[in-house]
Amino acid sequence: MLTVIDLRGRTPSTSELRRALPRGGTDVNAVLPTVAPIVDAVREHGARAALEYGEKFDGVTPASVKVPADVVAAALASLDEDVITALNEVISRVRKVHAEQKPAPHTTTLAEGATVTEVHLPIERVGLYVPGGKAVYPSSVIMNVVPAQEAGCSSLVVASPPQADHEGWPHPTILAACHLLGVDEIWAVGGAQAVALLAYGDDEAGLEPVDIVTGPGNIFVTAAKRLVQGVVGIDAEAGPSEIAVLADASADPVYIAYDLISQAEHDDLAASVLITDSAELAEKVDAEIDARYTVTRNADRVAGALGGRQSGIVLVDDLEQGIAVADAYAAEHLEIHTENPRQVAERIRHAGAIFVGAYSPVPLGDYAAGSNHVLPTSGTARFSSGLSTHTFLREVNLIEYDRVALKEIGPHIIALADAEDLPAHGESIRARFEAMGEQN
């Protein structure tokens, strides 16, 4: 089922690898002309336009954009107890990890009376998008909300598409997860129109705009995030889910097959890639996939993803080349199935998250590892990070110099100001001492 790319016997450059490795063809630019009018309409007409687009795309109009508290409470009451228990356990684990991510203030003393203190201030109001298309993602509620809460954000709103099967409200499991997390503002709006409404708000409808929009979504959500960036911050332009597995002959082909299948069921565009120096393992994994993927309820989706050009098997000469290929691919999720997997994992430089050994599969990270599952895709792990407490913090420097410290550095400031032909900068320094009859 999987296409094989054989890199054995040669050492491709980074440029060659970027062209040769499996990669999807998602093009955000191609949908910008479709999404821009939606964003423009919501900017001009607010909630009314957002609801109209919801009717067009989701086939339903909720009674209000804001989900009433009694609807949210009823959603939790309707949820199976085992699901509530699971959600609470996941919340606890994710909260512990993200609470420990928050950095402490740090003061650097440059001279007596000259300090710079770095503090981390939370973004005040955040908009957290939770998709609701081919699957239900209460886990995405947790992955967005918890780091924002741990950062200290004072105001949170979750937006998720209205569901025709649930009287126009978001899926009850989404609402229940919000309730468990203490989120009391939920908007029944999805897609590009949700992103636009979060960015621009609507005073008449009582919808306050946010300062940052985070969370995964389809290509239209991604395009809308690109269009509103600058009006608000965004976390990233997320593409389809992807997994790469770096494995040697010691790996279990059944484990790898299931892990590749599990990510493929997200979406027809999802990417599943095996990188290995063992042709025998590659054949076994491909055979196991053929034998097992049909048992999943999402078999058609899995077949579409695994048969697409974004998925495949990459054969390499040895583990060294495998590491180089994995770094060039820069997977959203990278599993390491080798002898001494921790040693190999510590050599990887480009991945959204690294799953070490046979008992740390990606589904663990999707739900309950404690790490965040909102991660960089499409190779962007080379220069960006996943969602975390840091996403919702701003580093601010407190610069504090006394008179003696300023006088000491003053001549250097004046010299550089003159060199840049900005004399008023130097005069700003000089004036503080001339006023006191001092020479700088």
- Is 333 catalytic? The answer is yes
User: Is 218 annotated as a binding-site member?
Assistant: yes
Are 157 and 214 in contact by the 8 Å Cβ rule? The answer is no
User: Is 241 annotated as a binding-site member?
Assistant: yes
265, 332, 350, 373: which one is catalytic?
332
User: Is 263 annotated as a binding-site member?
Assistant: yes
- Is 45 catalytic? The answer is no
166, 333, 337, 350: which one is catalytic?
333
Report the binding-site residues for Zn(2+).
263, 266, 366, 425
Report the binding-site residues for substrate.
241, 263, 266, 333, 366, 420, 425
Report the binding-site residues for NAD(+).
129, 193, 218
Provide the annotated active-site residues: 332-333
Report the binding-site residues.
129, 193, 218, 241, 263, 266, 333, 366, 420, 425
